[in-house]
Amino acid sequence: LASHPFQMALYFCTGVLEDETLFRHYALNVPFYTHFTSPIRRYADIIVHRLLSASLGASSPIKMEKEAIQRQADHCNDRKMASKRVQELSADLFFTIFVRVRA
């Protein structure tokens, strides 16, 4: 319940957005922020790792247009939101069943 007030993080391609204030992390108060976990967990993290590696010169640039990267980010956001919604509905369902059985 405590995490519900927080806005869900969204993936986006910085080359598509012109407003750099959207790049900041509000809670950490830093102007530029990226987040990723182990690339074995999510496809979005693989993209972030590859882009970060290319930007640091450790690997060759990704051959994707920024619009294609944004479409991938939008798809990942859609799937993440759908997954979160199903998780919430599942918790509601099982709580309802629990209350019905205990009543």
Percent of all residues in the chain with a pLDDT value above 90, rounded to a whole number: 38
21 pLDDT higher than 60: yes
Structure tokens given for 102: 């205990």
Work out the average pLDDT over 32-39: 74
Rounded Cα distance between 89 and 65, Å, is 37
Q: How many CB atoms lie within 10 A of CB 44?
A: 20
Encoded amino acid at 100, one letter: R
Per-domain boundaries in the chain: 20-102
Q: What pLDDT digit, counting tens, does each position of 75-87 carry?
A: 999 998 999 999 9
Q: What are the two backbone dihedrals, phi and then psi, of residue 11, each rounded to the nearest 5 degrees?
A: -85, 140
Q: At what angle do helices 66-102 and 43-55 cross, to 10 degrees?
A: 150
Q: What is the pTM of this model?
A: 0.72
